[in-house]
Amino acid sequence: MKLKIAILDDYQQVAETFADWRSIQAIADVTFFHHNDADLRPFDILCVMRERTPISSDLLNNLPNLKLIVSTGMRNFSIDTETAAKRGITVKYTRYLETGAPELTWTLIMALARNITTEAANFKAGNWQTTIGQDLAGKTIGLIGLGRVGTKIAKIARAFEMNVIAWSQNLTEEKANAAGAELVSKAQLFKAADFVSVHLVLSERTRGIIGLPSLQQMKPTAYLVNTSRGPLIDESALIKVLQDKTIAGAALDVYDVEPLPKDHPFRSLENLLATSHIGYVTENTYKLFYGDTVQVIKEWLDTRQV
């Protein structure tokens, strides 16, 4: 019998067009799922898009045929790899392009600074020049995390003639200086920054690392930007400061629960610019993700035939 392969989380119904699946369709039945309510019990291989569908221990224990999980990206903390290993299920990953998140981060920062969404809406309503934008030159950007993405953001910020400060739990002065940033304390960063941008990996140590005390230290003219992971920020605390308008606003691409519920408070806050986790949703990224997925499956099948 042919193997059964499930391509999950194909929200935009494009997975089939971003790779040549014919080489594995000859030996396997490939099914593309656009919603996360599929019955996965018949499938031998699951291909998941990032963390869109968590692969929990409970789910794994209810998939009797599962032999391989292929995840896009170089890591996926929503897969219970320990349970997978115990059940003899192989977990593989694809490569990842690191340009998408930095590009979106700057899109959001510039949209906030120049009131792009407001001006675009007012233009279509027949109005002209209704707000006054901020200059980035001379402003201070505070980076929470100075890894691969944070370092790219620091480089772009310097091109805009911004002051760059940074903090994370393990950041050293040497590493900060090498990235063109000044190492400061967490409190100093929130007090001084005109834009706070978050670039940390989510872990038990970083979950909720930005809470109400930090948000209340921000200037009333400052903005918070998060394109990393939603749970890094205390969601209820962020909603409070946005509702109270103690900061100028925020821009988010990531959330505690995704897709975001339709009745979530974030959807009605006038000082929030929000997108639906599109940081990695680009043509080149999808080509890499799905092209690698096909290649990983082919290589796995080859090893089984040896």
> SS3 sequence, 96-112?
CCCCHHHHHHHHHHHHH
The count of other CB atoms within 10 Å of the CB of residue 229 is: 22
Say if residues 23 and 63 touch (Cβ distance below 8 Å): no
Per-residue pLDDT, 306? 43
Per-residue pLDDT, 160? 97
Per-residue pLDDT, 305? 64
Per-residue pLDDT, 164? 98
Per-residue pLDDT, 303? 84
- Give all domains of the chain, ordered by start, each with its CATH number: 3-96+283-305 (3.40.50.720), 100-274 (3.40.50.720)
pLDDT tens for 152-191 read 999 999 999 999 999 999 999 999 999 999 999 999 999 9
Q: What angle do CA 181, 162, 222 make, to 5 degrees?
A: 100
Q: Of 258, 267, 299, 304, which one is the catalytic site residue?
A: 258
Per-residue pLDDT, 38? 84
Say if residues 144 and 200 touch (Cβ distance below 8 Å): yes
Say if residues 266 and 274 touch (Cβ distance below 8 Å): yes
The count of other CB atoms within 10 Å of the CB of residue 259 is: 12
45: β partners: 5, 68
Which residues in the chain come in under a pLDDT of 50?
A: 306
Per-residue pLDDT, 272? 98
Active site residue 258: yes
Active site residue 229: yes
**Rounded Cα distance, 191 and 13, in Å:** 44
Give the list of residues 6+ apart from residue 147 with CB closer than 8 angstroms, or none. 199, 200, 201
